[in-house]
Amino acid sequence: MKSITLKKIALATVGTAIATFAIESKPVQATTFFFSDFPSSVAPSFDFSKGDLDLTVTGQSTNGPRNVFQGLFGLGVKGGRFDSPQIDGFGPDETLLLNFDKKVKILSATFSRVGRNDDFKLLVDGDTLVAADIPGGNSWDLGIRNFNFRQFSPDNKGFQFGFTVTGKNDDYFLKKVKVKTVPEPATALGLLSVGALGVISRRKRQQKG
């Protein structure tokens, strides 16, 4: 009889913990990072913060590290004095690296200075997620268009996102990105459950002894 009562108490404790967790947990809201700025500037890296989410942006090429450019059209990659500030494939392929301090899911990105023939490639933690044409480019290389990554779930989650090119004719700026933090496992809830079930197990062993 005592064993049954103890089991009921333990299960009730787990049930209460689950209910409390469900009530206190709030849906994770999407966060948008805007990269446009004026006047323009160049640096080895740029830091951004929104709420409790931090982002560091760096530049890379097939020849090594490059500076990051920030201007009215957004972020780009710049090598030397005469190098274009866009993320481009003229010479060494350039990559803009977005490094988050928490695991996030990328939802969308907005590109600017997009021409008719501009493609992009997105790397998630070093692996290619997608290589595609940027829609909405025009002959004046002034298109601003959004690309949705929700269709690639769950592979669109990671800590680092690299925006690069697929060929020599590609060049663009990254104007903004929208991300959502990936919730961490409810470890406290798991420990509560294990602890309650452990009490039941010990009680049973004592009775057998």
**52 lies in which domain range?**
31-181
Which one-letter amino acid corresponds to residue 52? D
Within a domain: 190: no
Q: pTM of the prediction?
A: 0.78
What is residue 9's predicted lDDT score, i.e. its pLDDT?
A: 44
Residue 174 lies in a domain: yes
Q: Is residue 101 a part of any domain in this protein?
A: yes
Please, what's the largest Cα pairwise distance for the chain? 84
| Strands, E assignment, the chain | 31-34, 41-43, 45-50, 53-61, 64-71, 74-78, 87-88, 94-114, 119-124, 127-133, 143-148, 157-164, 171-181
β-partners of residue 95 are 60
15 vs 24, 136, 192, 201, CA distance in Å? 14, 52, 10, 18
DSSP 32: E
Query: Is 11 part of any domain?
Result: no
Whether 19 is in a domain gets the answer no
Q: Which of these, 109, 102, 112, 100, lies nearest to 57 by C-alpha position?
A: 100
Any domain includes 26? no
Number of domains in the chain: 1
Please give the Cα distance from 204 to 209 (Å, whole number). Answer: 9
Segment 55-111, tens digit of pLDDT = 999 999 999 999 999 999 999 999 888 889 999 999 899 999 999 999 999 999 999
Return the structure tokens found at 130. Answer: 């997608």
Q: What pLDDT sits at residue 135?
A: 85
Long-range residue pairs from 185-193, CB within 8 A, at least 24 positions apart, any chain: 186/21, 189/17, 189/18, 189/21, 192/13, 192/14, 192/17, 193/14, 193/17
Task: Tell whether 24 is covered by a domain.
Answer: no
| DSSP single-letter state for residue 134 | P
Residue 105 lies in a domain: yes
Do residues 91 and 66 make contact, with C-beta atoms less than 8 angstroms apart? no
Nearest to 69 by CA among 110, 27, 36: 36
The residues of the chain scoring below 50 in pLDDT are: 2, 6-7, 9-25, 187-197, 199-206
- Token reading at 187: 């470890």
What CATH number does the domain containing 59 carry?
2.60.120
- Asked whether the bond before 183 is cis by omega within 30 degrees of 0, the reply is no
